[in-house]
Structures are given as structure tokens and as C-alpha cells.
Amino acid sequence: MSFDILVLLAPGFEEIEALYPVDLWRRAGLSVVTVGVVDQDVTGSHGITVRADLVLSQFLDTNCDPYQAVFLPGGMPGAENLSRSPLVVSLIKKTLDENLWLIAICAAPAVTLGRNGLLRQRQFVGFPDFAEEGKSHGGIWQDHDVVVDGKLITSRAIGTAPLLALEVIRQLKSDEAALQVSRRGLISTR
């Protein structure tokens, strides 16, 4: 089996940042699988428990079915939990080594990527409170809602989750597919 996007859910993930994009990506016809980093049932930063499609260790045990992108939602302590997982860091490095898409929002660019040395010389955006941390890890802060640097796509926070989702649809499918989803969802792309 192959997937378009793997959505990594660690305990304490930001629910809107994770699930809003999943919904829009599925509406666009992308194959999206939610992956619990520790367990299949994952509780977010606001107490909402989600049942993931798979657990990361199960996915990795199947020799990593092909995928196009990995998505790292923010939220605290979700981004820290992603950062501390050797399995997550290994998957991110594999994704980068294979020149696949890496998507991160809010705290995840600085906390998950930056703290693991994976933001060096990369343009990024995230939650503004983490701008200095991301820069201290070698990232190049851009004051935009969504930033695309090669195959790295980053975004600010819950308010920009729809814009992030649409950009991913543009990159993985087409401008027309993103436009159709934005029209159906009445999402303003300014």
C-alpha cells in the first residue's frame, strides 16, 4: 500500500492543526494516514482523544510503505514528544534523505526539526514564540503564513492550518485541486 501523507500524532498534539488539514487533504483525494507515535489512541493538547489509523512502530515494521509526505503538527507538548522520539527523528531523516515532502506547523518547525539539527539553512515559519529558537538552530525565519523551501512546507499555527493544507494540495496535486477545495470550504486564500 502507498500513502500520500503520514500525519504523526504524538501525545499533546494540537488538534486543529492536525485534523483540519487531514480533512481538507482527504477532500482533495489525497491518501492520508494518521499515525500514533506511541499508541493508537492519542490525546491532544486540549484533551481530545483521536484513534490513529496506525501506530508508528507498526508502520515501520511493514518496511515503510511508500509515502510522499510526513506532516508534523504542533502543539505542546506534542512537538516536544515528536522531537524526543527516535522513531520519529529517524523517519524525518529518511524523508529528507529521499527528498520527500516534510510539512510542519506551529512549534514543530523549531522544536521538532530545529532541536534535531534539521532546520539548518532552511527557510521556515512557525508559532512566533518559537522564532528565536528556530533561528538559534540555524533556521531562516520568514514572516509569512506559509513558507515553502524546497520540499519543506511550514506554517504558523491553527489559524493558518487551512492555508497550509491548501499549499500541500497545490504541491502534491495541482492549483486547480486546491482551488476546488478552497471554494467548497469557503476558505479565503486572500
Active-site residue list: 106
Instruction: Look up residue 187 and give its three cell numbers.
Output: 476558505
Scanning the structure block, which residue is given the C-alpha cell 520527500? 100
Query: Measuring CA to CA, which residue among 6, 20, 15, 16 is closest to residue 187?
Result: 20
Ramachandran assignment for 149, one of left (phi > 0), alpha (psi -120 to 50 degrees), beta (any other): beta
How far apart are alpha carbons 119 and 131 in whole angstroms? 12
Q: In angstroms, rounded to a whole number, what is the distance separating the alpha carbons of residues 77 and 44?
A: 9
H or E element, residue 26? helix 15-27
Looking up cell 526539526, which residue turns up?
Answer: 113
Measured CA to CA, the distance from residue 34 to residue 130 in angstroms comes to: 25
